[in-house]
A and B are shown apart, each in its own frame.
Chain A
Amino acid sequence: MYRYDELDQRLVDERVAQYRDQTERYLAGKLSEEEFRSLRLRNGLYIQRFAPMLRIAVPYGLLSSRQLRMLGHIARTYDKGYGHVSTRQNIQFNWPKLEQVPDILADLASVQMHAIQTSGNCIRNITADHLAGAAADELLDPRPYCEITRQWATFHPEFNWLPRKFKIAFSSSTKDRAATAVHDIGVHIVRNEAGELGYSIFVGGGLGRMPMLAHKIRAFLPELDLFSYLEAILRVYNRLGRRDNIHRARIKVLVKSLGPARFTELVEAEWAELKDSYLKLLPEDLERIKTRFDQHAYKPEGEADDGSLERQLAADSRFAAWAKRNLRAHRQPGYGVVFVSLKASGTAPGDVTDSQFEALADLADQYAFGELRTTHDQNMVLADVAKKDVYALWRKLDALGLATPNIGLLTDMICCPGLDFCSLANAGSIGVAQDIYDLFENLDYQHDIGELKIKMSGCMNGCGHHTVGHIGILGVDKHGEEWYQVTLGGSAENDAALGDRTGPSISRAGIAEAVKKIIDVYLEQREGEEETFLSAYRRVGMAPFKARLYSGAEADAEVEA
């Protein structure tokens, strides 16, 4: 956990006071609706379909047990008893009252949390690999770099009124688990041939209605030059990004219209002016940030792993089925990574109740050095669990309904709030997720299907990342009815790709069955159990899927004019 120093804390406290004043001026009629809208959005407050929605920042997905207890308190006191993990590792509350938000922020500030820049056309929460610090394929822990970037971005005076929102993600591992290819800036922490630490910089990825993969604009940026280079990119974007059309305003459109080569030239020219300025970091700046992250006192392997885990796996088949999906390797010998599934049947993907927040805080304290992470696929992770404790932890998670053994499987769906909550949505997504869940709930069946990422958004904005789902589902409105476009073959990992559309959209009544048909085709076509859905799709292509989905007998699909 990064622990604020007094300066970090003072800024967050001053923000609470500023936002309280803004809210009071709005309620007193001194701020127009439109002006307050921009201000409240910069604080994560949306006015939604039924009530405001407050998005709280979880920088790089890391939460302490103290913070979890506060989230439980907020869910109970100001909301209807639950919160929601978003696809950018943040926490959202769906029912706060506008006039109570300053009090919620004050509560959050007391545990070093805030809602700064969680919406609006500014630099948003910095995200990272949810296995940071625990993954074996990692060069180094990216989170101190995320934290300095968070600080650089917080209240940046020049970049608070950008053409559009701006998202930055970090990865430092061989396997990209942070979806950096679909961010405005993706930063890969790397070493160059001389062994020096630095970054590869990718720009211009994004989802939404014009999905694009990011371009690498610099292969190696020295470690201490991070701020000046980010500033150069943002300045070029602030100056040249389109402001006349909200759908053409993201940096991806600028990179595309200038061409990556010309865009890079502009950034490099700007950087040449900035790189030797006060923006250059000192090694001690980074060191100081690193020392403010808690270091875990891991037990020696023999103590952390007393051999009981192997016995319990052999003795308890339910436990073994869970461990197969939800327990992953840790780079520290004797430890494991435990996934907390927020994808139980009957609950909206990513939802956590007040008492679950509090119970998770206790479990984090007891078994995982008081820390928990949120993941961009809307689950949680207890990253540092001694193997001897895994069985006891599983029993407690199971009792809490947080041990559905489905991580990475079909029912581990990403899903936006959709028409049930969101004022932008064209169609429901939570209900569709449940229909699909019902068809595939049999766990053996899911295991047989294997790794599969279904991602679903209720509108083109793509909060559910549908374009990079192995199976993507996008809700659209057709003459007041909910219809769904389906894409196949997307991925947000190292083999990043945008999915291909199957054809005409499919009705609400037919969408779950359509997923079933896609799975049937995969199971028939695959060359053995080792071939994943994504590999099989890439080998056989769209044709067999299309044939099954749109065969004559299936008149469910709408024919578009």
Chain B
Amino acid sequence: MSAPLPALIRDGKLAANDWHSVADDAALPAAGKAIVSLKRWRAEKDALAASGLTLGVRIPNTDEVTPALAQELSGLPLVAVEIPKFADGRAYSQARVLRERYGYAGEIRAQGDVLHDQLFHMSRCGINAFELRADQDPQDCLKAFGDYDLAYQHGADRMGTVWERRRAQR
């Protein structure tokens, strides 16, 4: 618990980060909110339920978001997706499927190599919370959400697509 928690942006604003990400071989905190891996969550379900902790689950970015996985995650307040390197785009598809197809309503949080210039597209895919890499300037990062005010594609931000605007112009 000694390392400071990463700076957090949630729903377009700087926010206090009250979730602890717990490695598989680390002890659980005594109380509060903890993010554990999907593997650990499955293996220690009963113990975790009895711990009194508020739990979120981190899914590997190699997993497909199947109906079964979506069902498993559906009641959780938080699902974390992994960005092992900023150029790895798998979590974008996971988030989009989880939000759009399965209507997941909790927080989807990006962890890892989370950088200024990726925030806008991540948020359009349904990721609404971002644990910034330590070297990022959180204030500066907030600007990224304003890079564009319209898009050709539907997004979780409900920005209104170019197609919809054109249809409305008739």
Contact = CB atoms under 8 A, between A and B. Distances in A.
Nearest to A38: B87
Which of B115, B117, B124, B151: most chain A CB closer than 10 A?
B117
A18 interface: yes
Interface string B126-170: 000000000001001001000111111111000000110111001
Contact of B166 (A5, A121, A155, A159): A5
A218 interface: no
A30 B151 contact: no
Contacts of A157: 92, 96, 120-122, 124-125, 151, 153, 155
A288 B93 contact: no
Given A121-B87, A154-B152, A157-B153, A18 B163 contact: no
B86 A35 contact: yes
A161 B87 contact: yes
A17 B148 CA distance: 10
A243 interface: yes
Contact of A239 (B64, B122, B152): B64
A162 B89 contact: yes
Contact of A152 (B88, B140, B143, B153): B153
Interface in A1-25: 5, 7-8, 10-11, 14, 17-18, 21-22, 25
B153 A156 contact: yes
Nearest to B151: A155
B90 interface: yes
A159 B118 CA distance: 12
A282 B149 contact: no
B101 interface: yes
A275 B92 CA distance: 20
B137 A22 contact: no
A30 B139 CA distance: 13
B166 A238 contact: no
Nearest to A227: B153
A316 interface: no
Interface residues of B, number: 38
A22 to B, nearest CB: 7
Contacts of A243: 88, 90
A556 B77 CA distance: 71
B159 to A, nearest CB: 10
Interface residues of A, number: 39
B121 A30 contact: no
Contact of A238 (B92, B115, B121): B92
A391 B60 CA distance: 66
Contacts of A239: 64, 90, 93
B125 to A, nearest CB: 5
A201 to B, nearest CB: 20
A161 B137 contact: no
B90 to A, nearest CB: 6
A151 B151 CA distance: 9
Interface in A284-308: 284-285, 288
Contacts of A14: 147-149
Interface string A129-168: 0000000000000000000000110111111111000000
Contact of A161 (B88, B140, B163, B167): B88
Contacts of A162: 89
A152 B154 CA distance: 10
B93 A11 contact: no
A166 B68 CA distance: 31
B158 to A, nearest CB: 12
Contacts of B64: 239
Interface string A24-55: 01000011000100110000000000000000
Interface string A235-277: 1001100010000000000000000000000000000010000
Given A35-B115, A39-B117, A160-B121, 5 more contacts: A8-B162, A243-B90, A273-B101, A284-B167, A285-B167
6 contacts: A11-B152, A18-B147, A25-B116, A155-B153, A161-B86, A285-B166
Interface of A: 5, 7-8, 10-11, 14, 17-18, 21-22, 25, 30-31, 35, 38-39, 121, 151-152, 154-162, 235, 238-239, 243, 273, 278-279, 282, 284-285, 288
